[in-house]
């Protein structure tokens, strides 16, 4: 799991990444969020990259809440009344991306989940279900 909270951490990670799709997505989102002078990524967002072998429980530990549980009503993924708390989700080449806005000032959590057989099965199932056309 990769947790990115600052522009410096994002820049270092982008330079080291081998996955070109993820590299492009992170660069794009960073540029979109920090287009004004004096803005650091830490002012606007926390990026979390979930890779093969990472678990939903580890993501919960990092974030302080479960990606598989609705923040308002507590319903969990798999329950009939479950609705994800994210603002939107999108499928990219080999990756799912979703965003949570968690405060009135617009601070967000950007989550990237790798579409890979060894990625947490519940996270993948949820992503696949909610990105169906």
Instruction: Give residue 20's pLDDT.
Output: 96
Domain coordinates of the chain in residue numbers? 2-130
Instruction: Give residue 133's pLDDT.
Output: 46
What are residue 83's phi and psi, to 5 degrees? -135, 130
Residue numbers of the chain with a pLDDT score lower than 70: 133
What's the token pair of residue 52? 């093969």
Instruction: Give residue 41's pLDDT.
Output: 87
Return the axis-axis angle of helices 20-33 and 7-16, rounded to nearest 10°. Answer: 160
Q: Which helix (H) or strand (E) holds 47?
A: strand 45-50
């Amino acid at each position: 799991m990769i947790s990115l909270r600052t522009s410096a951490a994002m820049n270092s990670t982008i330079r080291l990444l081998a996955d070109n799709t993820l590299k492009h997505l992170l660069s794009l989102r960073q540029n979109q969020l920090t287009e004004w002078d004096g803005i650091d990524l830490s002012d606007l967002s926390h990026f979390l990259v979930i890779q093969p072998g990472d678990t939903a429980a580890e993501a919960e530990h990092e974030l302080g809440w479960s990606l598989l549980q609705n923040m308002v009503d507590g319903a969990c993924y798999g329950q009939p009344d479950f609705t994800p708390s994210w603002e939107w989700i999108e499928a990219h080449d080999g990756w799912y991306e979703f965003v949570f806005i968690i405060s009135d000032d617009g601070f967000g959590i950007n989550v990237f989940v790798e579409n890979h057989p060894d990625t947490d099965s519940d996270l993948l199932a949820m992503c696949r279900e909610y990105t169906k056309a």
